[in-house]
Amino acid sequence: MIKVLLSQEIHPEGRKLLEGKFDVRIAPSAAEADLIEAAKDVEAIILRTNAKITRKIIESAPKLKIISRTGAGVDNVDVDAATEKGILVCNLPAVNNVSVAEHAVALIMHLAKQLSAMDRAVREGKWSIRNSNIAVELEGKILGVIGMGSIGALVAKKCHDGLGMKILAYDPYTKEKFKDCDYEFVGDLKELFRRADFVTLHCPDTPQTRGMVTRDLIYSMKPTAYIVNTARGTLIDEKALIDALKERSIAGAGLDVFTEEPPDKDNELLKLDNVVLSPHSAAMTKEATTRMSTEAAQAVVDYFEGRQPRYIFNIKGLIEKGVELSYKSRF
Ligand SMILES: NC(=O)c1ccc[n+]([C@@H]2O[C@H](COP(=O)([O-])OP(=O)(O)OC[C@H]3O[C@@H](n4cnc5c(N)ncnc54)[C@H](O)[C@@H]3O)[C@@H](O)[C@H]2O)c1
């Protein structure tokens, strides 16, 4: 029976697709040494974000033919090493973009309506908070969207069409796609931060984007403005954000991601009352988790049953090397 390694248990619906067809085992941990041992005789790996498949692991797994990611990102796979060995790296673009976009909208609405403060006040018997007028309307407010890819575009659409917000977008690569939309694109992040009532981040972590939300940009925001991050903690100068939140130089923040995850228990963000936090859970809805496990498992089933998996991230490199893209045509 073909051996399949799971870097971590997957949703039972995904498991069901593998049962009876494959010998499925779970890695004992995400440590490289454990993965080298666990992967040495497997032909497929289903990879969650808990582990990294390094060149060393790939080179110690002579039978490995396919690595199937349960998400869009392949930053935890040495794709070059896999391509050199003719191993398919499959991913799932857009598998969780509805969940993440909804989470960003939820954070925006939570901040606008000050739900954390309202909830606390009611529990503490401070009913008079209803007269404090700390909540705001979203209609007509400016949403600055940084990164108009699959998630950013969906957040823009939901907030524009559904909530009547004005969209100010910054994305040097995708402006053309939106020429029929009533969105304003800016070529300068400074303008976006200066004008937006809410800023939401949706670009990947790359050497160009790391730290892109600088102290200067944060301090250029209106004192009534909020920042929402469901992309990566590394995009923001977190220390500057904490200072701005403490000094009330901005109104608040909604954060699903952090520079260090989980954040250290002494991280000041955990003590501030003008932030709402979630544990990198934007993608982890029932629906997206089920889809992530079933579609990642389906890529493995398809491959070994002789069908080309739907999304092969390194397809170009594999074709250049003359690698067959399904198991049956390969042998
Ligand atoms: N919180 C979560 O659970 C979760 C889940 C999925 C994705 N994410 C994050 O969300 C990010 C966006 O996901 P996506 O599916 O929309 O990706 P995507 O690739 O579809 O879109 C990314 C967009 O960012 C743009 N971009 C790249 N560099 C930029 C820059 N310097 N300035 C502005 N824009 C830039 C790209 O042109 C692209 O349009 C991911 O990279 C990931 O970090 C988080």
- Judging by DSSP bridges, how do beta strands 88-90 and 66-69 pair with one another? parallel
Give me ligand 1 centre to Cα 29, in Å: 28
Q: Indicate the range of 167-176, 194-203, 236-245, 299-308 predicted with least confidence.
A: 167-176
State the virtual CA torsion across 283, 286, 287, 289 in degrees, nearest 10.
60
Q: 305 catalytic, yes or no? A: no
Pocket of ligand 1 (CB under 6 A): 72, 96-97, 100, 146-152, 170-174, 202-205, 208-209, 230-232, 256-257, 280, 282-283
- The pLDDT tens digits for 149-187 are 999 999 999 999 999 999 999 999 997 889 899 999 999
Architecture of domain 97-277: 3-Layer(aba) Sandwich (3.40)
Tokens of 234: 């590394």
- The pLDDT tens digits for 47-66 are 998 999 999 999 999 999 99
Mean predicted confidence (pLDDT) in 271-288: 96
Tokens of 40: 């040495």
Of 4, 1, 7, 32, which Cα lies nearest the Cα of 299? 4
Give me ligand 1 centre to Cα 203, in Å: 3
Of 223, 222, 252, 218, which Cα lies nearest the Cα of 238? 218
Taking the CA of residue 284 as reference, the ligand 1 atom at the shortest distance is: 3
pTM equals 0.90
What is the tally of helices (H) and strands (E) in the chain?
A: 13, 12
With a cut of 70, say whether residue 330 has pLDDT above it.
Answer: no
- The pLDDT tens digits for 126-135 are 999 999 999 9
For 96, phi then psi, to 5°, come to -125, 20
CA 213, CA 97: separation in Å to the nearest integer? 22
Tokens of 238: 């977190």
User: Residue 293's CB: how many other CB atoms inside 10 A?
Assistant: 24
Give me ligand 1 centre to Cα 317, in Å: 23
Q: What is the CATH number of domain 3-95+286-330?
A: 3.40.50.720
Q: Which DSSP string corresponds to 162-182? A: IT--EEEEE-TTTGGGGTTSS
Give me ligand 1 centre to Cα 44, in Å: 27
Band of residue 222 on the pLDDT scale cut at 50, 70, 90? very high
With a cut of 90, say whether residue 7 has pLDDT above it.
Answer: yes
- The pLDDT tens digits for 99-118 are 999 999 999 999 999 999 99
Q: Which of the residues 19, 260, 261, 320 is marked catalytic?
A: 261
Taking the CA of residue 208 as reference, the ligand 1 atom at the shortest distance is: 31
In the chain the first and final C-alpha atoms are separated, in Å, by 16
Confirm whether 3-95+286-330 and 97-277 share one CATH topology: yes
Q: Is the model more confident about 201 or about 49? A: 201
Mean predicted confidence (pLDDT) in 252-275: 97
SS3 62: coil
Domain locations in the chain as residue ranges: 3-95+286-330, 97-277
CA 196, CA 226: separation in Å to the nearest integer? 9
pLDDT for res 176 = 82
- The pLDDT tens digits for 313-329 are 999 999 999 999 998 77
Q: 261 catalytic, yes or no? A: yes
Q: Which of the residues 232, 238, 291, 295 is marked catalytic?
A: 232
With a cut of 70, say whether residue 331 has pLDDT above it.
Answer: no
Tokens of 327: 């198991």
pLDDT for res 328 = 76
Give me ligand 1 centre to Cα 146, in Å: 9
Tokens of 95: 């598998």
With a cut of 80, say whether residue 257 has pLDDT above it.
Answer: yes
Mean predicted confidence (pLDDT) in 75-95: 96
With a cut of 70, say whether residue 147 has pLDDT above it.
Answer: yes
Of 241, 248, 208, 211, which Cα lies nearest the Cα of 227? 241
Band of residue 96 on the pLDDT scale cut at 50, 70, 90? very high
Q: Whose CA is nearest to atom 8 of ligand 1?
A: 231
